Every structure is written in C-alpha cells, then in structure tokens.
C-alpha cells in the first residue's frame, strides 16, 4: 500500500469512529431525555368502595387519596379480569387474558406465563432507557416444568423485561412461602433445601386439615395444606425454614425494597411495579395495625397498605422526585370478604361496602369484579380532576410507549395517553372483561354479559354473584350502576350492536 492510500485509510477510520461515537451520543441523548419515572402501585383484591376518595366513609385511606386528589381519579377504571393472574398478565403484556389459555389463577409452582421475546410493558420501557423493577406479589408463574426452588429460578421477571425483582413467589396463601430476589429464593441455605408439591404432602409434615391445633388462623374453605407461621396454605412444602417469610412483616418488606429500589435508581428514569399483597388472604397485619380499622383484619390490612403508600409518596418527596414521577394506583380485581379464612371479614364489615354500590365482586362478571379504584398523579403536569373516560390497565403499554417515543407491539393495548393525562375525556372504546370463555364486555355506558353454560348464579364459597347466566344480560351502568335491570329484551338494538362490537374486539 502506498503512503498516500495509507493516510486515506487512516482518515477514513478516524471519521468512521467519530461518526459512530456521535450516533452513540445521540442515542444516549434520546434515552436521557427526561422521561418521567413511572410507578404502578397495585393492590390485591381492593374494591371500588374500599378507598375513601371513592366514597368509603367507614374505612379511611388518606394516603391513597393523596394520589387521587393530586391527580386524576378515574370513575371508569378497569382491571381486565376479576382475578389476579389474568389481570396482571394483561397489564404487563398488553394482551387480553382470553388469548392465553393459561392466564387464570395459577398454582404456586406454575411455570412462567409469558411467552419469551414478546414485548411487555417493562421491556418497552427498557428500550426507552428505563431501569425497570418489580417488588411484591407476582403470581405469574416462575421457571419451567422442572423448576428446582433451590437452584436458579428462571425464566421469570428478569427474562420479560425487568432489571430487578423482589417478589413473593406466588401468593400469600400458596406455597412456597418465600420471596425470590432476581433468580434466587431469598435467605435459602444449602443445608436446608426447600421442596414444593401441589400433588401430595411430604411425610411427617403437618397440615391444616390434620393439625388444626397448630393454627392461629383457621381456613373456612380450602387452605388446609402445609402450615407456616400458624397459617395453613394451598399446596405442600417442606424445609427452607430460613427462607420462609413472616406474614406480619410482608408490608414492611415490600415497602423497604421499593424504597431501596427508587433510591438506587433515582438518577435514571425508572419504572417500578410495586405490587402490594393487601387485602388478599391471609390478612395478617403487622401488630402495629391490628385493630386500627375497627373492621377486623381485612380493614386493618387496608389501613396498613395505605400507610405504606404514604411512606412511599413521602420518599418520592424527600428525593425530590414527585414532579418527575407518574404514580398510578389501582387494584387487580374486585373485593371479596370470606376468601378462605375465618378472619371476621364478614362479621366485622358493619356499614362498610367494599364494592361501593356496584354489583358482584371478585370472580364476578358483574361490574364490581373488574371496576376498581384507578388514579394517576403526575404533579405539575396532570391537572387534578375526575375523569369518566373508560380506561384499562392493559393500556399502559401503548400509552407509555407513546409517551417515551417507543412503538407499541402488543396486540391489545391502546394508546389512551391523553385520557391518562387528563387531556381528553375519551378513553378506549370498548373493553373485554374476564378470561378464556368467561367474558363480559363494557362499552360507553353499557355492560354486556353473553350467556354462559353452567356456573352457579352465586359462587357459594365466597357468597358473590358470578354474573353468569344462560341468557344475555345488558345493563346501562349510567342509569343502573347496580345492574338491577336487564335490558337485553327491551333494547335489542343495543344488544345486537354490543354483540357485534364484542366479536370485533376479540379479533
Ligand atoms: C382461589 C382461592 C382464593 C384465592 C384465589 C386467587 C381457594 C378455596 N380459594 O382459588 O383464596 O387465593 O384463588 O386470588 O383456594 S387472586 O387474587 O390471586 O386471583
Ligand atoms: Ca387479586
């Protein structure tokens, strides 16, 4: 090579490296573009009427109310399903639960529910430069068919877009009663491995069925298998004593980890899915909250959760992040009183109405199954107010993709950012509620429940109307919030229109 061509090559190389460097800087610039932090605080089984800003007078939630009063309170906010797993699945995947057969209440040893490689809310935000974390209840499956709780627990949250996870392995009423941090059970030692079965008990291990004398809380239905902390649960487990969580401390554990997470990530845009375990069963408040509500443990754990929300909001203030953080508060499904333990939820309810005048509750296709408290605060950006727009948790992915210049690649999430930010009174057009073949449809002022085979009128274990019937049901929620008048035979035009709209939305 001649000297001149050598010099030419060198110049070319320098130019190339500089260009590459510039484009790297550009993409870093894009990422650092002051996107707001996003926090979703997600209660478990909290009803539309369980929050004082939504009308509760017997049970006060001053801290949750702060989010509603300083932000937008949605009067038509929905989870997609009346149970936990499908609602959480659609929130994180932007996909209707009915598209995935397994998207229903999962046992504690179920493999991860998500299909790897598909966009999720956290993976979308990762692409926008966010640090993403989940703390609290998961209930979306972990690992694969051959999961060993003593080894590496994967795939899980880290494989679907979270950078950090500190989660309850399943639910507080399902074994294993442990937390998982990233890929490992927290506090597990080599000398004391943990074993889990949903088929049969381990030799010599007590159960709630056979050893009620060991219980501090007794089951009312189900929940009579392995005992831990004086509470029998669903499923069997053995060993792992040093790893087992203490129900009384769970609220403090999740709060501590959430606060740690935002402190660690305060210099990045971050996303935190802070999934509270209250007021799901077993309802075991820390002793400092016992008796605080006058409504028994169900009320007490709501007071406890409300306190944690207050601590979390205070921390955002302390870090100077409140103006740059979107805080969402909602619930995964509607309320239930007796959900399997004798915990006075029914006897001490007094005048409190968890469903807040709606019909049904958890597990129900009636409105209270999915119509939940739903509020969004973004101090200094969102003008406080009330919105009647139809909004769903499934729409976070597309809406926050729009906010952060990303593409939504999920099938069902809709960009309703303007409704979320209070700039528009129009949310989504229609919304399918439920999972698999058990569905209802909400559009405008209307709710449609197509006929269902079987399914009792009242789910007798929990004493909640299932909403399922063998005929079409059509309700005008504006005029008839409590769904007392089935208009299917009177307003056949509306019925036909909604039947078609439901079919269209399913596509
Ligand atoms: C039910 C449980 C209930 C609760 C629910 C899931 C029995 C008898 N009932 O099967 O206690 O765990 O599943 O709740 O076992 S959810 O909020 O996580 O969806
Ligand atoms: Ca739930």
CA distance 459 to 83: 14
Give the containing element (helix H, strand E) for 258.
helix 250-264
pLDDT at 19: 45
- Nearest-ligand number for the alpha carbon of 334: 2
Q: Name the phi and psi angles at 439, rounded to 5.
A: -135, 155
Residue with the smallest CA separation from ligand 1 atom 12 is 173
CATH 3.40.50.2000 for domain 35-428, yes or no, is no
Closest ligand 1 atom to the C-alpha of 139?
18
State the distance from the centre of ligand 1 to the C-alpha of 296, rounded, in angstroms.
20
CA distance 76 to 321: 28
- Coil/strand/helix, residue 487: coil
State the distance from the centre of ligand 1 to the C-alpha of 267, rounded, in angstroms.
39
Residue with the smallest CA separation from ligand 1 atom 3 is 339
pLDDT at 120: 98
**DSSP character at residue 276:** -
Q: Which candidate, 212, 217, 244, places its Cα nearest to that of 231?
A: 217
State the distance from the centre of ligand 1 to the C-alpha of 10, rounded, in angstroms.
68
- 413-445 tens-digit pLDDT: 999 999 999 999 999 999 999 998 899 999 999
- Are the C-beta atoms of 488 and 472 separated by less than 8 Å? yes
State the distance from the centre of ligand 2 to the C-alpha of 416, rounded, in angstroms.
25
- Coil/strand/helix, residue 219: strand
Burial of 20 (0-12, 13-18, 19+ CB in 10 A): exposed
Give the containing element (helix H, strand E) for 237.
strand 236-239
DSSP letters, 55-93, are T-SSS--HHHHHHHHHSEEEEEEE-SSSSHHHHHHHHHH
Q: Which residues of the chain have pLDDT under 50?
A: 1, 3, 9, 15-17, 19-32
Residue with the smallest CA separation from ligand 1 atom 18 is 84
Q: Which candidate, 128, 80, 88, places its Cα nearest to that of 274?
A: 88
- Are the C-beta atoms of 363 and 459 separated by less than 8 Å? yes
CA distance 265 to 372: 30
State the distance from the centre of ligand 2 to the C-alpha of 274, rounded, in angstroms.
14
| 288: preceding bond cis by omega (within 30 degrees) | no
pLDDT at 453: 86
**ipTM over the 0.95 cut-off:** yes
pLDDT at 114: 98
Q: Is the CB of 283 under 6 A from ligand 1?
A: no
Nearby residues of 446 by Cβ (< 8 Å), 6 or more positions away: 474, 475, 476, 477, 494, 498
From 87, 330, 340, 370, the mutation candidate for ligand 1 (largest count of ligand atoms within 8 A of CB) is: 340
Give the containing element (helix H, strand E) for 274.
strand 270-275
pLDDT at 172: 97
- Are the C-beta atoms of 464 and 361 separated by less than 8 Å? yes
pLDDT at 456: 66
- Are the C-beta atoms of 401 and 81 separated by less than 8 Å? no
**DSSP character at residue 473:** E
Q: Is the CB of 281 under 6 A from ligand 1?
A: yes
- Coil/strand/helix, residue 369: helix
Q: Is the CB of 84 under 6 A from ligand 1?
A: yes
CA distance 132 to 121: 10
Q: Is the CB of 65 under 6 A from ligand 1?
A: no
State the distance from the centre of ligand 2 to the C-alpha of 169, rounded, in angstroms.
15
pLDDT at 27: 43
State the distance from the centre of ligand 2 to the C-alpha of 44, rounded, in angstroms.
4
Q: Is the CB of 180 under 6 A from ligand 1?
A: no
Where do the structural domains in the chain lie, given as residue ranges? 35-428
CA distance 66 to 400: 23
Closest ligand 1 atom to the C-alpha of 84?
19
- 484-504 tens-digit pLDDT: 999 999 999 999 999 999 999
Q: Is the CB of 306 under 6 A from ligand 1?
A: no
CA distance 377 to 327: 5
CA distance 374 to 395: 13
| 282: preceding bond cis by omega (within 30 degrees) | yes
């Amino acid at each position: 090579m001649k000297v001149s061509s050598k010099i030419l090559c060198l110049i070319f190389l320098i130019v190339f490296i500089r260009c590459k460097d510039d484009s790297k800087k550009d993409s870093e610039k894009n990422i650092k573009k002051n996107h707001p932090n996003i926090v979703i605080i997600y209660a478990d089984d909290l009803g539309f009427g369980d929050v004082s800003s939504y009308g509760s007078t017997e049970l006060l939630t001053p801290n949750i109310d702060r989010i509603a009063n300083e932000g937008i309170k949605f009067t038509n906010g929905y989870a997609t399903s009346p149970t936990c797993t499908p609602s959480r699945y659609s929130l994180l995947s932007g996909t209707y639960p009915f598209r995935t057969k397994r998207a229903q209440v999962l046992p504690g040893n179920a493999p991860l529910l998500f299909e790897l490689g598909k966009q999720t809310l956290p993976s979308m935000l990762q692409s926008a430069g966010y640090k993403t974390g989940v703390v609290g209840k998961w209930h979306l499956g972990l690992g694969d068919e051959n999961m060993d709780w003593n080894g590496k627990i994967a795939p899980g949250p880290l494989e679907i877009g979270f950078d950090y996870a500190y989660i309850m392995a399943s639910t507080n009423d399902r074994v294993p009663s442990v937390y998982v941090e990233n890929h490992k059970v927290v506090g597990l030692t080599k000398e004391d491995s943990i074993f889990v079965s949903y088929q049969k008990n381990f030799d010599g291990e007590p159960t709630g069925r056979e050893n009620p004398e060991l219980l501090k809380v007794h089951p009312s239905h189900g929940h009579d298998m392995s005992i831990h902390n004086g509470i029998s649960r669903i499923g069997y487990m053995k060993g792992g004593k040093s790893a087992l969580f203490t129900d009384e401390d769970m609220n403090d554990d999740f709060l501590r980890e959430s606060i740690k997470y935002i402190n660690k990530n305060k210099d990045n845009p971050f996303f935190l899915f802070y999934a509270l375990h209250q007021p799901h069963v077993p309802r075991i408040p820390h002793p400092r909250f016992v008796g605080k509500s006058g409504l028994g443990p169900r009320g007490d754990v709501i007071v406890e959760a409300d306190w944690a929300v207050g601590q979390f909001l205070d921390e955002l203030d302390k870090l100077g992040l409140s103006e740059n953080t979107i805080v969402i508060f909602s619930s995964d499904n509607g309320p239930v009183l007796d959900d399997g333990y004798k915990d006075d939820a029914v006897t001490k309810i007094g005048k409190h109405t968890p469903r807040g005048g709606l019909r049904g509750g958890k597990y129900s296709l009636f409105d209270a199954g999915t119509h939940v408290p739903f509020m969004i605060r973004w101090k200094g950006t969102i003008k406080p107010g009330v919105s009647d727009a139809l909004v769903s948790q499934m729409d976070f992915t597309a809406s926050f993709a729009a906010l952060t210049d990303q593409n939504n690649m999920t099938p069902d999430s809709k960009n309703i950012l303007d409704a979320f930010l209070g700039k528009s009174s129009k949310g989504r057009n229609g919304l399918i509620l439920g999972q698999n073949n058990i569905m209802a449809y909400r559009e405008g002022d209307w709710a449609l429940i197509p006929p269902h085979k079987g399914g009792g009128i009242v789910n007798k274990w929990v004493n909640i109307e299932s909403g399922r019937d063998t005929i079409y049901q059509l309700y005008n929620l504006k005029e008839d919030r409590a769904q007392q008048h089935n208009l299917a035979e009177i307003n056949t035009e509306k019925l036909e229109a909604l039947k078609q709209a439901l079919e269209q939305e399913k596509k």
